[in-house]
Amino acid sequence: MRVFITKDYEEMSERAFEIVKELVVENPYAVLGLATGTTPLGLYGRMKADHKKNGTSYRHVRTVNLDEYMGLPAVHEQSYAYFMKKNLFDGLDIDLNNTHIENGMAPSAEEECENYNRLLKMLRQDIQILGIGSNGHIAFNEPGTPFNSQTHVVELAESTIKDNARLFKDVSEVPRKAFTMGLKNIMDAKKIVVLANGANKAKAVKEAIQGNMSENVPASILQSHEDCTFICDEQAAALL
Ligand code: PGA
């Protein structure tokens, strides 16, 4: 596991952008595993700006996203499908048919999980971008999730609902369940880049990198990945 400590959020985002750009230029058909949340916004902003300025093309790139709220349609402003379109895809030349995320409105949750696992087998991530929750979760894999888990439905932890409430009008509007890639699906990525910024991530970052590998800290599984890089700003790295 490699750890880069950057001065601030901007430098963290720049480093991540350099890694993604190099991959896409080298392999125009790359599969990008993408994340939502506030952490990757600086990375996504740089990808859009670079596409506009330098014409870096995403025409053949395929994407798979980590997770989606259950019960929100893709057009809902708080859905992760909407987030990705607004914050990244609309600013690139990507073919939306090549972008994938769980269907929050799927009539059968079980079938949706099976379908997504099948898709992930065909579209193995060349790189997986991750944020980390203040409780050590990755995607919506909350503490206690088995390391060998695949796509499944989760009841969100209270701390996650609270963390995400800022994006909704009221905490009561935050969905209580979500679809998420499992930890095994994430570990299948060829390369993983975890981004973390801010003091509220410091404890999770320390436990993920230096703690025991334990299902109580889902991100600690990353210690056993052969190509995983943490990029943390100074505040998130403060306890290392
Ligand atoms: P954040 O979420 O980027 O909004 O901090 C990260 C996460 O919960 O995985």
Decide: pTM greater than 0.85. Answer: yes
Q: Is 216 a catalytic residue?
A: no
Q: What percent of the chain has pLDDT over 90?
A: 92
Choosing from 102, 126, 142, 233, the catalytic residue is 142
Residue-averaged pLDDT of the chain: 96
pLDDT of residue 157: 84
For residues 224-232, average pLDDT = 98
Give the Cα separation of 48 and 58 in Å (integer).
10
pLDDT of residue 29: 98
Q: Is 22 a catalytic residue?
A: no
For residues 105-110, average pLDDT = 97
Q: Is 225 a catalytic residue?
A: no
Choosing from 51, 65, 126, 137, the catalytic residue is 137
Q: In sequence order, what are the residues at sequence separation of 6 or more whose Cβ sits closer than 8 angstroms to the Cβ of residue 146?
A: 182, 183, 215
pLDDT of residue 40: 98
For residue 140, give the nearest of 80, 230, 199, 205 by alpha carbon.
80
Please give the number of the atom of ligand 1 that sits closest to the Cα of 139.
Answer: 9
